[in-house]
Structure 1
Amino acid sequence: MNEQAGKWTFLTNHARVLLAIARDPASRLRDIAAACHITERTAQSIVTDLEQAGYLSRERDGRRTRYILCLDGTLRHPAEAHVPVRRLLELSNEP
């Protein structure tokens, strides 16, 4: 592996969190963080970012939180502003 390979990744932590939630909308924050190899605090911050941007909403289910993805929202970068979130999830073989 060359030296440059470890300095960047294809997916951001925000994308990883979104994908983890797509896999299991009833995931606990702890499980999302573990799946994404980030801290719970970082996962919480990212979930808040995604909620504020309209990519997901939260719903209480007893003592748990269930996440609802907004799949028709588009990606944020101008180059992909026409691409719905649904397409990103399809590319990763998620629902």
Structure 2
Amino acid sequence: MNHPDRRWTFLTSHARVLLTIARDPSARLRSIAAACQITERAVQTILADLEQEGYLHRRRTGRRNEYTLNLEKPFRHPAEAGLVVRALVELAAGTSAQPPKTASASVTVS
């Protein structure tokens, strides 16, 4: 079945929130939501998930939150075994010292 209104993306909302915080650790919830194109409520839930699992730490500074990412935290899915948050942040920023390990395949098109 082909549904034109059904779209998929490479990154989850959790990954988008994490990357947005990597770019601006003092970003406001509203700014994160706008950057990720999701609701503020969804960002609240995602931040709680990420903090509970140890991917970030939230610290109150005055009336704002300041976020610190745990860049050495490994991803949860077995397919990403051995990869840590730093790999995603560096890949998104284009600062990776070496390309991520990927499977290689050759295709010949006639």
Normalising by the residue count of structure 1, what TM-score does the alignment of the two structures yield? 0.91
Report the Cα distance in structure 2 between the residues aligned to 1:4 and 1:74, rounded to whole angstroms. Answer: 35
Q: Match of 2:32?
A: 32
Counterpart code for 2:72: D
Higher relative contact order (CA 8 A, sep 6+): 1
The change in CA–CA distance for 1:84 and 1:38 in structure 2 (over 3 A counts) is: same
Q: CA RMSD, aligned part only?
A: 1.9
Amino acid at match of 1:89: V
Find the structure with the greater CA-based Rg.
2
CA shift, 1:5, in A, is 9.3
TM-score by length of 2: 0.79
Q: Where in structure 2 are the equivalents of 1:9-88 lying within 5 Å?
A: 9-88=9-88
Q: 2:86 & 2:63 partners in 1: Cα distance?
A: 28
Q: 1:43 to 1:79 in 2, by over 3 A?
A: same
Percent identical residues: 61
- Quick one: distance in 2 between partners of 1:14 and 1:59? 19
Task: Return closer, same or farther for 1:94/1:53 CA change in 2, 3 Å cut-off.
Answer: farther
Which 4+ residue blocks in structure 1 deviate beyond 4 angstroms? 2-6
- Answer whether contact 1:19 1:94 (CA < 8 A) is retained: no
1:72–1:85: 8 Å Cα contact kept in structure 2? yes
Contiguous gaps of at least 5 residues in structure 2: 96-110
Cα gap change, 1:60/1:94 in structure 2, threshold over 3 Å: closer, same or farther?
farther
Select the structure that is richer in helix: 1
Gaps (5+ residues) in structure 1?
A: none
For 1:13 and 1:69, locate their aligned partners in 2 and report how far apart those are by CA, in whole Å: 16
Matched residue SS, 2:93: coil
